[in-house]
Amino acid sequence: MELDSVRLIAMALAAGLGVIGPGIGIGLIGGGAMEAIGRNPEATDKIVSNMILAIVFTEALGILALVVAFIVRFV
């Protein structure tokens, strides 16, 4: 295999596998927040703000995986 082919495969694996975890994590965060809001509707504002903060931190891992994938491809 040529070096470019290996780099493309590595990029695809890094990007694909790197965003699976954050995708699952965001789903779990959203599900947990919906359950918490259903149990205690008065705390909706506090739950939603904490949920958004957790989603931002989780999404940062997905963005990091994409950056690593591009580094593998072009460097």
CATH for 3-74 (1.20.20.10, 3.40.50.2000, 3.40.50.1100, 3.30.70.980): 1.20.20.10
Taking CA 63 as the corner, what is the angle to CA 74 and CA 44, rounded to the nearest 5 degrees? Answer: 175
CB contact at 8 A, 49 and 37: no
CB contact at 8 A, 34 and 55: no
In tens, the pLDDT along 7-63 reads: 999 999 999 999 999 999 999 999 999 999 999 999 999 999 999 999 999 999 999
Where are the chain's structural domains? Answer: 3-74
Rounded to two decimals, what is the model's pTM?
Answer: 0.83
